[in-house]
Amino acid sequence: MMDLSLQEKDYKGIFKYFYEISAIPRGSGNEKGISDYLVSFAKKHNLEYMQDEAYNVIMIKPATPGYEKEPAIILQGHMDMVCEKVKDYSHDFLKDGIKIIVDGDYLRADQTTLGADNGIAIAYILAMFTDESLPHPRLEAVITTDEEVGMHGAKALDLSNLQGKYMINLDSEEEGYLLCSCAGGLTGTSTLPLKRVTEYGRKLKINIGGLQGGHSGIDIGKNRTNATLLLARLLFDLRELCSFALVDMRGGFKDNVIPREAEAILLLPACDKAGLAELYAKAEGFIKELMEKYRRELSSSEPGLQYQLTDLGDDSCEVIDSYSFEKLLFMLTFIPNGVQTMSADIEGLVESSLNIGIFRTEADRAELYSSIRSSKSSYKYYVSNKLAYLTAFLGGDYQRRWEYPAWEFRKDSKLREHFQRISKEMYGKEMKVEAIHAGLECGLISEKMPHLDIVSIGPDMHDVHTVEERLSISSTLRVYKLLERVVSEKIGA
């Protein structure tokens, strides 16, 4: 149930709809429920709609009197969300809705991602499509699936029946900014073969957590530490101090999220129990010294860094053999993670990057899932090819998948000018025109409808794709009121 204080602030039902959306599990790949909800909404309000096999939903609201000859406007967002939660929290993203907490001017979730990326877009659209007092041209809502894991919904879209000349993407995360270009991207999967041998010793589990994490596009230039790579550094340093074998290692849950947690299980080999006890004590001391060193190094950028050591007892188990381990550690030490190039055209913009989002060891292989982004197609492929070369050099296999194009800047834009004029009138200043290093569906949609004049806007959100995600209530209201005027005033009039 919506908090009473939020009910009093609600405008046109924006937060009412956001709560309804948040009650429906809608992680990427689990969107049938939210898609059917949108179809039910369309039927209830007598709207023309289409639901395709990918569960994308298109809804159309006819122009109000006097706007029949005005160009149609597309409102666009995605229905899926990134599902992250605090370690060991019992939330089941396949069954449970998001528990929303009102915290001052912000909405946040109880130990999970909030899903304002991009649930607030849906809430905006539903509020606007039920507002009978708002004059507007033909409105076409395009709400897609699987945006967070490769934009598969946008790839499957059939837009042949749409009439839109302008499109407003609602998947941005900072008020006052008018996005007009975005990076293209792809997911690269590296697989390294592993051989295992049986050894006896004491098992030690290492957990690293408390890092900031974040969006692999928006936050990649903010000096966030990748938990998987920090753990790999620990193993790299530890190998010079004591003997151990690697049983298992994993970190991250999404390729487009900077991992905030990682863990490894080590085996400390020895011939007898007395030797094991002594070896464990030494290894524990070395690990504590190394982690304290990392804490000092990262005290400004990662003040929440934590670690935990757990004694799992004596055991005989399958460990990764030394040759496989050295290749794996080489991969994690030299992979080109993070910012690769900065833009020479737009100050402060990351042009190209790579993020290791998921890493895990299995019985016979190690898998790495990397998100590669660039506003220049040629450099995107160069980074991908470097990763492929490194993988092949170490005897592994590499696959390129989940690719999407960049959205290129349009020099002349009536829609951009329209936003700027209204923003100046309403809030006393023009919006800042920017490009973004994150991927938006605008690139795919503009490929299908090259004539479209597109911009992207959104309210203030922070720490998206993390359990710290939060949405500003006041910003949400201001951006919606701006959107109302943009839609209700004739473009170019």
Q: Check 80, 248, 263, 351 and give the catalytic one.
A: 80
Q: What are the φ/ψ torsions at residue 203 (nearest 5 degrees)?
A: -90, 135
Report the amino acid identity of residue 275. Answer: G
The two three-digit tokens of residue 444, written as one number: 């795919």
> Cα(337)–Cα(247) distance, rounded to whole angstroms?
24
DSSP assigned state of 225: P
Tell me the H-state helices in 94-213. Answer: 116-129, 152-156
Which of 3, 13, 255, 5 has the alpha carbon at shortest distance from 120? 13
**8 A C-beta contact, residue 128 and residue 487:** yes
Q: Check 140, 147, 255, 460 and give the catalytic one.
A: 147
Active site residue 489: no
**8 A C-beta contact, residue 85 and residue 98:** no
Cβ-based neighbour number of residue 102 at 10 Å: 16
Report the amino acid identity of residue 41. Answer: F
Q: Is 408 helix (H, G, I), strand (E, B) or coil?
A: coil
Quote the strand ranges of 96-165, DSSP E.
100-103, 106-109, 139-144
**8 A C-beta contact, residue 145 and residue 153:** yes
The two three-digit tokens of residue 165, written as one number: 């000349």
Active site residue 326: no
Point out the residues that are catalytic.
Answer: 80, 147
